[in-house]
Structure 1
Amino acid sequence: MPDLPGLPDLPGLPGLPRGAGLRGGGAPDLPGAAGPAGAVGAVADGAGSGVPLGPPLHVAGPEGPWEEVHDQLADRGHVLVHTTWGQWLAAALLDPGLRDLLGRDWPRYRQTAAPAGRLRFAASRMVLKHTAAAALHLPADALDLAYRPGGRPQLRGLAGVEVSLAHTDELIVVAVSRTGPIGVDAEPVTRRPSFDLLHPYVCTPAEAAGLAALPEDDRTARLLHLWTLKEAYTKALGHGMRRRFAAFGFSRDEQGRTVLLDEPAGAPRWILATHLVHDRYLVSVAHRPLRPVETASRPAAHPLEETRLPPAATLGWPLPGSSGAQPT
C-alpha cells in the first residue's frame, strides 16, 4: 500500500493500518479496541513535545463520575470527554436551572425550531460546562461560555483555559486544556466523503497523490481520518472551516509520528491523535502545548475562584447543568 504522508500505518482503519478492512456496517476492525458502548481505542497517536493525548473519558451524565476528569487535567494539562446527547436528555428536559446554566446561549436554544436540535444544543453546552467545571473545580453555572469570531467557544474570565466542542449524530466530545490551544473533531466511520469532490480543498498535492493510489475503501477511510485531523487543527487555531485544508499538510517525524508539516524550528510542536469511540466514531484532537503542566493537585486559582463559590466537588451535581461563523 502506498505511503501517505502524515498518516501512520496503525491498527484500526484502512489507510491508518495496512491490510485491515471494514467490518459490516462500516465499523473499523481495530484489534484490542472493539467492545461495549463507550469503549475507546487509539487508532493514531502523533506527538511532538508535551504530554501525549490520551483517549477520551466516558461520562454518562451530569452526575459523573468526574474525579478522573479533574485528575487528568491536573496531571496532563488537558482532558477529553465523550458522551451521547441521549445520556444527557433527561437532564436537559428536567433541569429547572437550565436557563441559568446556558446563560448567553439561552436565546439560541429558544430560537432553535426543531425539538431534537434544541435538545442536542442544550446537551452539548451542558456537557461542555460540566466538563470544564469538573476539571477546574468550579460550579458549572458560574462558567460564562462565549464565542470568539468564527465560533470558537471560550470561557470568559478564565485566562489560559481553552475548550473545544464537537458533536455528530449521537456523539458529543469536549476538550479542555490549560496548557495551550486544543481542538477536537468527530465523524462517523460510516461517512463516505467523496475524494473526487473534496481532495482539491482538503489535501495537499502529496496527500492527494497518496490517496489516489489507494483502493477506494482505503482511500475513503483515510480521507475521513485526514479530514478530522485537519478540522481539529483548524478549530484549535480558531479558524474552523475558514482556513482551506489544502493549504497545510502533515508529515512524519523521525519516530514515524504524525506532525504538522513545516513547523518552525524550535517552536512548540502540535500533538495530534485520533481515537475510535463507541466502535462507531473517529475522534481527532490537536493540541499545542505552550505552557508546562502544573503538577499541583489542582490548577492555580482562577478569577472565578476568588468569589468564594464552593468547589464543584461539593455540589453533588444534582442536575445539569463545527466550525464556521456560528458556534457549533
Structure 2
Amino acid sequence: MPGPLLPVLPPGTSPVPLPGAPPGAPPGAPSGLSAGPPSSAPSGVPPGLPAGLSSGWGAGGLSGLSPGPLLHVAGPDGPWEQVHDQLAGQGHALVHTTWGQWLTAALLDPGLRSLLGRDWPRYRQTAAPAGRLRFAVSRMVLKHTAAAALQVPADALDLAYRPGGRPHLRGLAEAEVSLAHTDELIVVGISRSGPIGVDAEPVTRRPSFELLHPYVCTPDEAAELAALGEDERALRLLHLWTLKEAYTKALGHGMRRRFSAVGFRRDEQGRTVLAGEPDGTARWILATHLVHGRYLVSSARRPPREIETASRPAPYPLEETGLPPAATLGWQLPGSSGAQPT
C-alpha cells in the first residue's frame, strides 16, 4: 500500500482562505486578471496552507514534498540564466510565474502574432477577453522558457500539439515541454531526457473523494484515504491528482487515461515512485513542490539518460598496434567486426 504522501491533518481543521490577488491591473487588462505577483509568503507557515500542515513546515519543507524551489521568472526579460544552466546541468528545468507579471508584455508586444505563430488563430477565436489573454500569456511563458533553455529566439520556435493536446517544439526532438496553469499560476517544464509533464492545483481546492476516488485512486490508495479525516483526505487526494495528471501528461494521455490505472508508493528513501517498480529501478522521477505557499505543483519526467562508453584498455600502445585508433578502442569499422560505440 502506498505510504503517506503528506503529513497528517489534526481532526477538525479546515483550509485557510486564499489571500486576495493584488490590485493594480495594467491599463487595458480585462476584468478577472490582475497585475503583480501573489503576495509573498512570510517566514513560518505560508499563507493559504491548511492550518493542520503547520507542524510539517520547516527548513526542509513539508514531508512528502520535494526540496528546492522552482525557478521564478517575472517576465520576458528574465532572469533566464538559471533556466539555461539547470537544463544544461540537470537535463530539465521547471519555471513558474503568474499571469499578472506577464500581462503588460502580452498587451503591448507588437510581435505577439509572430511569437504565437500557429496559435494566433486560436488566440483570435477565443471570445472572452480574459481567456484570450490567458491563452497568449501561457504560450509566451512556454516559448520564452524554451528559448532561454535552448539559446534560440523565442519567435523562432514552432509550438505544435500532438493528438490529445500535448505541446511539442517542431524540429526539436531533443527537447520536451509541458504546460500547466491554475488561478494566477503558470508552470512550464522542459526536459532533454525525455517526456515531461507538469500539473498545478491550489492547496485549498477540495476535491470530492466520494465522487472522484473510483476515477483517481487505485483500490489501495482509496482504502488508505478512506481511513483519514476529511481535511487530510481531501489534501492527499489533491496531491495524488496532481501527480497522476503530470504523469499522464508526460505519457501524452492526459485526462484520457483513467487515473485509477496508475498507482504510487514511497520507496525506501521516501521518494514517490510508481507502484510495482522495485526500489532503485525507477523509470520516472516524480516530484511535488509547494509554490508561493498556495499551490501544489507536481512533475513527472524521465531520468537523465546515461551514456555508456567502451572502457576496455588497448592491448598495446597505439603506435604499436598498427591499427586505426577506432579499432584499438574496440569500435566497429566498416567491413570489420567488433563492438559498436554506444
Normalising by structure 2, we get a TM-score of 0.75
2:202 maps to: 188
Please identify, of 23-32 and 94-103, the stretch whose mean Cα deviation from structure 2 is larger: 23-32
Aligned match for 1:88, one of 80, 91, 102: 102
Q: Is 1:137–2:151 an aligned residue pair?
A: yes
Q: Which amino acid aligns with 2:2?
A: P
Q: Tell me the distance in 2 between the aligned counterparts of 1:115 and 1:42.
A: 38
**Residue in structure 1 matched with residue 324 of structure 2 by the alignment:** none
* CA contact 1:203–1:249 (8 Å) conserved in 2: yes
Matched, 1:27 2:24: no
User: For residue 320 of structure 1, what is the aligned residue in structure 2?
Assistant: none
Question: What's the counterpart of residue 201 of structure 1?
Answer: 215
Assess if the C-alpha contact under 8 Å between 1:43 and 1:275 holds in 2.
no
Residue 154 of structure 2 corresponds to residue 154 of structure 1: no
Q: Determine which structure has greater relative contact order: mean sequence separation of CA pairs < 8 Å that are 6+ residues apart, divided by chain length.
A: 1
Asked if the contact 2:265/2:274 (under 8 Å) is kept, the reply is yes
How large is the Cα RMSD of the aligned pairs? 2.2
> Quick one: distance in 2 between partners of 1:111 and 1:249?
39
Partner of 2:298: 284
The structure-2 alpha-carbon separation of the partners of 1:282 and 1:84, relative to structure 1 and needing over 3 Å to count, comes to same
Q: Report if aligned partners of 1:179, 1:289 keep a CA contact under 8 Å in 2.
A: yes
- State the match for 1:254 in structure 2: 268
Counterpart position of 2:231: 217
**Contact kept? 2:267, 2:279, Cα under 8 Å:** no
Task: After TM superposition, give the deviation of residue 292 of structure 1 in Å.
Answer: 3.6
In the other structure, the counterpart of 2:2 is 5
Partner in structure 1 of residue 64 of structure 2: 44
User: 2:137 is matched with which residue?
Assistant: 123
Paired residue total: 271
Q: SS of 2:121's equivalent?
A: helix
Letter in 1 for 2:49: A
| Identity between Structure 1 and Structure 2 (%) | 78
Tell me if structure 2 keeps the 8 A contact 1:41–1:277.
no
Asked if structure 1 preserves the Cα contact closer than 8 Å seen for 2:273 and 2:282, the reply is no
Q: Is the 8 A contact 1:274 1:283 kept in 2?
A: yes
Task: Name the aligned partner's letter for residue 64 of structure 2.
Answer: A
Q: Distance in 2 between matches of 1:18 and 1:287?
A: 28
Deviations 1:247-288 (A, max 9, x none): 110112222321001238996521111111111111001111
Secondary structure (helix, strand or coil) at the match of 2:64 reads strand
Name stretches of at least 5 consecutive residues in structure 1 with no aligned partner.
9-15, 34-39, 47-52, 294-328
- Deviation readout 1:272-327 (Å, 9 max, x if unpaired): 1111111111100111125249xxxxxxxxxxxxxxxxxxxxxxxxxxxxxxxxxx
Secondary structure of the structure 1 residue equivalent to 2:189: strand
The whole-number CA distance in structure 1 between the counterparts of 2:15 and 2:241 is: 21
The AA in structure 1 aligned to 2:163 is P
| Aligned-residue offset at 1:24 | 2.5
What letter is aligned with 1:199?
H
Report the secondary structure of 1:44's partner residue. Answer: coil
1:143 and 1:269 map into 2 onto residues whose CA distance is: 29
Distance 1:170 1:286 in 2: 22
Q: Is the 8 A contact 2:202 2:296 kept in 1?
A: yes
Q: Is 1:275 equivalent to 2:283 in the alignment?
A: no
What is the CA distance between 1:138 and its match in structure 2? 0.7
For 1:177, the equivalent position in structure 2 comes to: 191
Whether the 8 Å CA contact 1:202–1:244 is kept in 2: the answer is yes
TM-score, with structure 1 as normaliser: 0.78
Structure 2 residues not aligned, in runs of 5+: 18-47, 308-342
Q: Hey, what does 1:18 align to over in structure 2?
A: 8
Pick aligned residue for 2:114 from 100, 105, 108 = 100
- Report if aligned partners of 1:181, 1:289 keep a CA contact under 8 Å in 2: no
Structure 1 distance, partners of 2:58, 2:280, is 36
Residue of structure 2 in register with 1:36 after alignment: none
C-alpha contact (below 8 Å) 2:268/2:279 kept by paired residues = no
